[in-house]
Amino acid sequence: MSATAAGLLQIALLLVLLAVAFRPLGDYMARVFTSTRHLAVERAFYRIVRVDPEADQRWSTYLLSVLGFSAVSVLLLYAMLRVQDLLPMSLGFDGMPPDLAFNTATSFVANTNWQSYAGESTLGYTAQMAGLAVQNFLSAAVGLAVAIALIRGLTRHRTDRLGNFWVDLTRGTVRILLPIAFVFALVLVAGGVVQNFTAPYEVTTLGGAAQSVLGGPVASQEVIKLLGTNGGGFFNANSAHPFENPNALTNLLEIFLLLVIPVALARTYGVMVKDKRQGYAVLAAMAVLWGAALVAVTAAEVHHAGTVPQAVGAATEGKEVRFDVWASALFANSTTGTSTGAVNSMHASYTGAGGGVVMLNMMLGEVSPGGVGSGLYGMVVLAILAVFLAGLMVGRTPEYLGKKIGRYEISLVALYILAMPFALLIGAAVAASFDTTRASLLNDGPQGLSEILYAFASGANNNGSAFAGLSANTEYYNTALGLAMLIGRFTTMVLVLALAGALARQRPTPVTAGTLPTHRPLFVGLHSVTVIIVAGLTFFPALALGPIAVALA
């Protein structure tokens, strides 16, 4: 079978798997968040934390719960990383220094999972399991809860109540993430992913040198890093490491895991707003963006005009030999289109055009299809912007799902759109301005700027993948990227919940002949173009100086 046929077959199998899971998983998640029944284990948790599960929170109370829970999570994880040497199964590793512990704690709580360290030489088993893996579940559940709160804002009327954060957090973890992760962790183990508690052992390499090999509870962390669109690998090589991703079958499964919940949430959205066509419209816009990017990055890697790629048939530098260029491009496009950040190849080794596409995926706001929860609420916010622009063109007050989009609502949308570029561009500008920060770069010129842009695009969008070549484990980068992660995650959540509260307070607006249908192909096109134009107007100058310049050279 040719490489092209094999690559197309992988894409087809992935789409079939997603299509099979779309309806049952989407419907199940809708039932989870609309059910009035509490499981026994959930009731026990509510008693422990002294939460009334029947309480319906105002948007401001919901927001304070999100921020308070996340702040406590950062502090607890920071403390665990600082005193790691005192924990059981620390494998003799010291605690992290303050700046790296801050970066790592904020990264995993913000669902970014940027790693300025090599996991196999920095963290013991307890820190990996009780610290990082736990936050992989909880940070994903927080994003899921915020998305559900926004859906309630669109479906409720004349109220300021959005549900109960603690109930949403608990149900997302207990009923969705944990059971799916348990099943697929067993599947990954069956596929060859490592899961043990053995101490490091010495092996003799082919060159005769001694090398320490670390095992560990890899599969249990691998599955939630993908399912929760987290991305933090047990090993520094992430999903390019054979202990995390042994073969082509596990590679396809891992791509499926990082896409399945964001894709199925479009169905959940349609069910909860009682118009499944709206969910299909959101899914179609996600698919248009994901598909266009996949074609672009695959073409850039397979058909590059460089002398070496032409000689060997594709741009194979930085690609793991167990996966071909097609599988690497598929993984790269999917991980940057979601907020996952896991990698099975080195994005810095991609061609200028290929690297630029995966960087642009993040700059779109990671909505193709985006992270768990964050992708859906990002697409809904951009749909509201598209409706507003359409209203301006025809001179009519814009409406979305029976809610008028007025000055207050569009102001929140505008601030949402500006928050991520603010963190990205300010951080990158400072990093590019000083000799001390430029000293972390392996390359100068456009490639060096691309390394900086990619790092802050990854941080501000809560992705976590990186361009190799940037030595980010410095006080500046650990601090600046940590702040970018916090701004990119929690500023946008503040604005989404404020928007949800504003929409919930409105009276329903009846559909008239002048109402713009938001479920038809015309709106899907407008929605998709809006996403591209917003990112293009914001980031084109920076991209022109970085990856576009590399591609043209």
Q: CA of 373: how far to CAs of 34, 127, 182, 261, in Å? A: 16, 26, 20, 9
Per-residue pLDDT at 19: 98
Interacting residues of 2 by C-beta distance below 8 A, sequence separation 6+? none
Per-residue pLDDT at 144: 98
* Alpha carbon 332 to its chain's center: 12
Distance between CA atoms of 97 and 92, rounded to whole angstroms? 15
pLDDT averaged over consecutive 10-residue blocks of the chain (553 residues)? 88 97 98 96 94 95 97 97 94 94 97 91 92 96 98 95 97 98 97 90 83 88 95 90 94 97 98 97 97 95 70 74 90 94 91 92 94 96 95 84 94 96 95 91 89 95 89 93 96 98 93 86 96 92 91 83
pTM of the entire structure? 0.95
Per-residue pLDDT at 307: 60
Number of H helices, E strands in the chain: 22, 6
Per-residue pLDDT at 212: 80
In 3-state terms, what secondary structure has residue 427? helix
Distance between CA atoms of 79 and 497, rounded to whole angstroms? 29
